[in-house]
Structure formats: structure tokens, C-alpha cells
Amino acid sequence: MGFKFGRGGLILVMVAASVVGPKRIIVGGSQNWRFGVNYTDWSLKNAPFYLNDTLVFKYDAPSKITFPHNVYLLPNLKSFLNCDLRRGKVIANPTQGSGNGFEFVLKKRKPYYLACGERNGFHCKVGLMKFAVVPMRRRHH
């Protein structure tokens, strides 16, 4: 009987582990990546993020009716707070957000400072297109 119970427990643990595997998270949810959504609020509501989760940035390619967006990785908190792009790195250009979106995997346990760099920081500053995440290690019991 003890053995049976033990196997049941093992199966339960395996199911739990598969449920809590890495996630694919659409940045902004149904709002996608666009001007005027408060992504700091969004990230706080959707925290915590975990190692190997994938952030998906979805935005239409530029056209007569859509403004361009992109994705920058900023090097530190100061650049992030000031929306200063000078030492930032473009990780997705204005066309990479279309279709299934641009995917960015949170591989390291460090702060990631993400922002839209369009209009020299205007989308970041005024459009609130920025957020920071520190992925956590998943705990298995």
C-alpha cells in the first residue's frame, strides 16, 4: 500500500512540474506592444517572471496607419529611468514584431531593462513603453 501511494505521489509531482514549466508571455497581454500602455504596471501585475520564460513582443510592421516600434535592451537602471538609448542595444527592429512576434528568452538571473527606442526615447518616456524584470529561479519541491 505504501508503494502504491508513493507512485501516486510521484505522478502528481511530475504533473505539477509540467504545469510550471517555462511560459510564453505576450508583453502587454491583449494590448500587445504599443504606445500609451503602462508596461511597468503590466509587469508588476504579471510578476514573477522565471528563468527561461519567453517574452513575446507583438507589434505591427510600420505602415500608413501604424507607427513603428522596436525593442531595446538598456544597460542599467539609470539608462532605464532616463530612457537613455545611447548604450542600449536594439534587439528587435520595427518589422520583427509582426506575425508571432519577437521572442526574447530570459536566460540569466539579472535585471533586464526593456524599452521601445522609437523617436529617440519618446515612446519610452511619454508612451510608457518600458519595463524591468528580474527572472527568478523556479523552485521544485
The span of 11-19, 23-31, 105-113, 114-122 binding Cu ion (CB under 5 A) equals 114-122
- Sheet with 24-26, strands from edge to edge, namely 24-26, 54-57, 102-105
Q: Are 79 and 87 in contact (CB under 8 A)?
A: yes
Q: Are 94 and 62 in contact (CB under 8 A)?
A: yes
Q: What is the smallest separation between the CB atom of 95 and Cu ion, expressed in angstroms?
A: 13
Residue 92 is a binding residue for Cu ion (CB under 5 A) = no
Cα dihedral: 9, 14, 18, 19 (round 10): 0
Determine the size of the site formed for Cu ion (CB under 5 A). Answer: 5
The span of 40-48, 72-80, 87-95, 108-116 binding Cu ion (CB under 5 A) equals 108-116
Candidates 27, 49, 60, 69; binder of Cu ion (CB under 5 A) is 69
Nearest residue (CB) to Cu ion, 19 versus 65: 65
* Angstrom distance (rounded) from CA 97 to CA 101: 4
Q: By CB under 5 A, name the binding residues for Cu ion.
A: 69, 116, 118, 123, 129
